[in-house]
Amino acid sequence: YYPYAHILTELKGSSDHFKIDANSGEIRTTRVLSHDYGPSYRMIVIASDQGVPPLQGQAVINIQVIPLSEGRAVISQNIRHLVIPENLKPAKIMSLIKSPDHLQQHHSGKLHFSIAADDKDGHFAVDSSTGDLFLFKELDYEMTSHYLFRVVTKDHSRNPPVNSTVFLSVAVEDQNDHSPSFREEFIVISVEENAPVGTLVHVFNAKDGDGTFLNSRVQYLIEAHHPGMNPFLIHPSFGTLVTASPLDRERVPTVVLTVTASDQAVNVTDRRLRSLMVKVVILDINDHSPTFTSFPIALVKEDAAVGSLVHHITAQDPDAGRNGRVTFSILSGNENMAFMLDESSGLLTTTLPLDYELKSQYILTLLALDSGTPTLSSSQTLTITVLDVNDEAPVFKQHLYEASVKENQNPGEFVTRVEAVDRDSGNSKIWELSNRY
């Protein structure tokens, strides 16, 4: 899509002997070159599209200045240009070095071919009799992408023998022979739960040792090990992993991803890839308050011994570590400090004898507090009912009752009323008449 696909080029380097057309990419000289002053130049060409943000690719340009031989100009016919793939096998014939025009009428077997002594680096060889140029050892585009050397032809049919030189410029064509690579095969990274969508989690940086842009350009893809449980996105070009949806550690504490880096070779079937397993740990934050799980009603007999268990207070907090560690306390309602609550275990016990007749019910306000930062809490009302036991004897309202009755009074007639009080609960009065003479 234009302007994203519109490419501009620029040169980076210390030399001002060359310039590049930003649109066409043509490189031209800006001044006369001298082999003695500068035998070679190395520059970087950067190609940038016009997207937002702009994407770039770069290539290294090695320019070698060919020296003039004995003050004579080298005509273009004596310069040969070859392009060979870097995976060409040694001993493979690349070209036939033919003699210049003035040597075409040579006598058979009178020509001798050789690579100039000061140009030999061991990668190329020439058959001295046939002029066949062949590869002597393997090439590596990433080490050397261009070679320039001279092949000398000596015509022994002349007296004295006549030498002729052919310059060979061999450009090595990059092949996609390197796979992207990560520094590790497995990593563990982390991010806090409830992080805003778009939070940067990690930046992946796979390296590809190929030399040309597409062969070494890496794109990224992620896949979750559990489908439907991938709250992350990765930028295909930059390798930035970001959150794509809210994270909840209590629901999904970890996510395991496979990150795949693939180069962008022109031929899709030639593309190479490498994978990295990533475990993303969702870090807990204190986002849950404790919740009481114990029943809000308790019963205890009034004759329970001091230290008797009244109730077991429990609460849940789904947060992890200190964020989920709960302690308990009594906020109010503990009259006369009748009860003690263990802050860790939640065991509520009596601290003094209870008396139903004095107080039959306690209403305590309990607090559950976690240990996170900031601390979160919740409260509960606990109603404690003291159960009565028969621990009180009846008491007459009077110590002595006096009454008179006629000797001929009929049975069943009213004589007098006696009254007694029992502080225990319920109707437990049973009357018994004991005669004493």
Burial class (CB within 10 angstroms; exposed 0-12, middle 13-18, buried 19+) of 359: middle
Contact (Cβ atoms closer than 8 angstroms) between residue 187 and residue 276:
yes
How far is CA 82 from its chain centroid? 47
The tokens for 190 are 């982390």
What Cα–Cα distance (Å) separates residue 92 from each residue in 101, 114, 319, 369? 27, 17, 69, 80
pLDDT (0 to 100) of residue 215: 87
Q: Is the pLDDT of residue 370 over 90?
A: yes
CATH assignment, 8-64: 2.60.40.60
What is d(CA 303, CA 415) in angstroms, rounded to the nearest whole number? 40
pLDDT band at 6 (very low <50, low <70, confident <90, very high): low
What is d(CA 363, CA 314) in angstroms, rounded to the nearest whole number? 17
Q: Is the pLDDT of residue 69 over 70?
A: no
The tokens for 31 are 């001044």
pLDDT band at 75 (very low <50, low <70, confident <90, very high): very low
Q: Which of 172, 183, 127 is nearest to 148 (CA)?
A: 172
pLDDT (0 to 100) of residue 189: 97
State which fold the 186-283 domain adopts: Immunoglobulin-like (2.60.40)
CB-based contacts of 375, cutoff 8 Å, min separation 6? 286, 369
pLDDT (0 to 100) of residue 241: 96
Tell me the domain boundaries of the chain: 8-64, 76-173, 186-283, 291-387
pLDDT (0 to 100) of residue 392: 66
Task: List own/partner pairs for 125-133 with CB under 8 A and 24 or more apart.
Answer: 126/97, 126/151, 130/96, 131/96, 131/97, 131/98, 131/99, 132/93, 132/95, 132/96, 132/97, 133/93, 133/94, 133/95, 133/96, 133/97, 133/168
Asked whether the domain spanning 291-387 has the same topology as the one spanning 8-64, the reply is yes
Most confidently modeled of 167-171, 293-297, 388-392?
A: 293-297
Architecture of the domain whose range is 291-387? Sandwich (2.60)
Q: pLDDT (tens digit, 9 = 90+) per residue, 286-327?
A: 999 999 999 999 999 999 999 999 999 999 999 999 999 999
Q: Does domain 76-173 have CATH number 2.60.40.60?
A: yes
Mean pLDDT across the stretch 209-218?
85
What is the pairing mode between strands 347-350 and 339-341?
antiparallel
pLDDT band at 161 (very low <50, low <70, confident <90, very high): confident
Round the average pLDDT of the chain to a whole number and report it: 84
Mean pLDDT across the stretch 99-123?
67
pLDDT (0 to 100) of residue 402: 80
What is the pairing mode between strands 186-192 and 273-283?
parallel
